Amino acid sequence: MAGAGAEKAAGGAVVRLDGRSLTRADVLAVARGARVELDAAQLRAVQRTADFLVEQVRRQEPLYGVSTGFGSNADRLLGAHRLRGDAEGDPSLNEELQENLITSHAVCVGEPFPEEVVRAMLVIRINTLMKGHSGVRASTLEAYAAMLNAGVVPVVPKLGSVGASGDLAPLSHLAIVLLGKGEAFYRGERLPGGEALARAGLAPIRLSYKEGLALNNGTAQMLATAVLAAGRLSKLIELAEHCAAMSLEAFAGRLRAFDEHVHALRPHPGQVASAARLRELLAGSTLADIPYHLVPRAKPWLPGSWPNAALAAFRFDIGWDWVPADQRHGRERFYERFRPFRGGKKHQPQDSYSLRCVPQVHGAVRDAIAQLERVIDIELNAVTDNPLLFPDLPGARHVEEQVVSAGHFHGMPIALAMSYVKAAIPVLAAISERRLAKLVDPATNDGLPAFLVGNEDGTDSGCMIVQYTAAAIVNDLASRAHPATVFSVPTSANAEDHVSMGANEGRHVLDMTQDLARVLALELMTAAQALDFRRDTINAARRLAREADLGTFAAKIGNAPPDPHPLRPRFLAECDALRAELASAPEFGPGPAIAALHAAFRRRVAFIDRDRALDRDVAEAVRFVEDWIAGS
């Protein structure tokens, strides 16, 4: 939902812009269709700065971007008339300077950004100009807001910004529509900018002093993509912990590694939060921390696997191996706590890193996202154009103290935060893929069927190639994680000799969130399949213990001494103890949080009983994740 600056009004949410209180939630709300309104008091401050600028021009003060050219043309002072002479109806050189800045800079290429990115750019740009330090007129901002509210969405191709002096080219594509030029989408149709304005009942505007520079000199593209990416990532890290919890349930894993007192010894904020979230998600589980000996090993189904027709409905067989007394030497204390049977769960005190180290890995990703959010929250209400105007600066004795050329357009604060997140995305995808790989591999999945399918006839591949797809995406994400920020290419005849490349970084990160979502969807699909098998094999053992006699139950246990044999009575006594423990146990299953997620997923993607065309299942799993992100 929208943040503190948003209100409800007829027709939907309205975000009030005052240059001071825009939030990430507000930007997301406007990106998805909310309207904006401009704070009346702050508009007066905006106009005060515009009037100040007019006065300085009247006094013929030389001001960058007002009475000089731009960039490497900053040493060119504008004259009173054109060298070739003015023609009737020509705009003033000041007006022409601003209009030319927009029309000459709108040179991006590639596919256009989606509507939500462009709407986010617009609200960010309007809000920063509402700070009142840029020199634009109140009427210009009102025209921008009217265009946004009318649903006129400028066509902004994706490629063309180097992230300093801000996002010049893409922001020119935003502004050029205000002039009745360029292109825009209106009600789903791509139109010339002037026609889109006309259909929306709007008229183009003429630019005044410094307005072209104010409109295209800033960080709105990289910031818009950062806000949208951060919004998705905040949902994806939450989903990743749901996926990890479901995978841990499927492994019948161990919870002590997530204890609060453990993480108090290394209190990175994200790590502490991740461990706490896992404890919440796994609360109430009867699969996690289950005693080793209760977990049977899944075996291929055979016609004689089960003693009656009701039990024969299971799509697997189960089994354990007995540990004879002469193999227990040195492990006596262990077999005082656990019964002497080896099933699916390995006798080891710790899980693999992809399970045990979820708080450390996911937590570090949480910290990267938090750093990006911190930078965004500052940037959303910052002034990012140049020069900066201070009409009411106390003690100012000269206009040079009130009109200051600085470098707030430089995108490096956002760019480096995005680089941090860019490196974190393949890390989160990679640990997800490792859990998925463990689940399908019979050497590592603690007694689940190979590739999570019964495969009694040897013809099924199950989830084998699901892991291939996840591996391919992880590799692709890793290859795209190189930070754009480390490779500056100077521009503007070397006047702009160090640039951030933050626009590329933001575009990359936003795109990469889509592939991260796909990897998590594949883990979710695999973990749900594995959880079905784990829950059902343990409950099948419980049901067998309740319904079958000791001889039938003991037939599921390998390494049994023959009858007669001196160890046979001991074997049967220990089998009976295992049977009694299973029979008296409540039904096994995941905790409520993971059970709810599993049930919701199963309403969309069915259990894989035998091989079928999985492309539709994969696509539906991805849709499930995107719906989860949108609705969570």
Residues marked active site are found at 64
In order of 159, 217, 255, 313, 577, the CA distances from 167 in angstroms are: 10, 6, 48, 63, 72
Q: How far apart (Å, rounded) are the C-alpha atoms in residues 98 and 210? A: 6
Quote the strand ranges of 126-169, DSSP E: 152-154, 157-159
Distance in angstroms (rounded) separating the CA atoms of residues 96 and 77: 14
Judge if the upstream peptide bond of residue 296 is cis by omega within 30 degrees of 0: no
Rounded distance, CA 615 to CA 521, Å? 13
Other Cβ atoms within 10 Å of 326 Cβ, number: 7
Work out the end-to-end distance of the chain between its first and last CA atoms, rounded to an integer number of angstroms. Answer: 11
The number of CA neighbours under 13 Å toward the Cβ of 164 is: 24
**CB atoms inside a 10 Å sphere around CB 615:** 8
Reading the block at residue 568, the tokens are 């046979």
Beta strands in 225-324 (DSSP E): 297-299, 317-322
Beta strands in 373-440 (DSSP E): 388-389, 403-404
Residue type at 422 in one-letter notation: K
Q: What is the largest CA-CA distance in the chain?
A: 118
Write down the residue that tokens 């503190």 correspond to.
4
Distance, CA of 121 to CA of 158 (rounded, Å)? 13
439: number of Cβ within 10 Å: 27
Is residue 444 classed as helix, strand or coil in its secondary structure?
coil
d(CA 224, CA 218): 11
Q: Is the peptide bond before 561 cis (omega within 30 degrees of 0)?
A: no
The verdict on whether omega for the bond into residue 285 sits within 30 degrees of 0, i.e. cis, is: no
Beta-strand pair 183-186/152-154: antiparallel
**Separation of alpha carbons 377 and 449, rounded Å:** 48
* Neighbouring C-beta atoms of residue 329, cutoff 10 Å: 7
Q: How far apart are CA 492 and CA 507, in angstroms?
A: 23
CA 555 to CA 557: how far, in whole Å?
Answer: 5
In total, the chain counts a number of residues equal to 632
**Backbone φ/ψ region at 433: left (φ over 0), alpha (ψ -120 to 50), beta:** alpha
Phi, psi of 207 (to 5 degrees): -90, 145
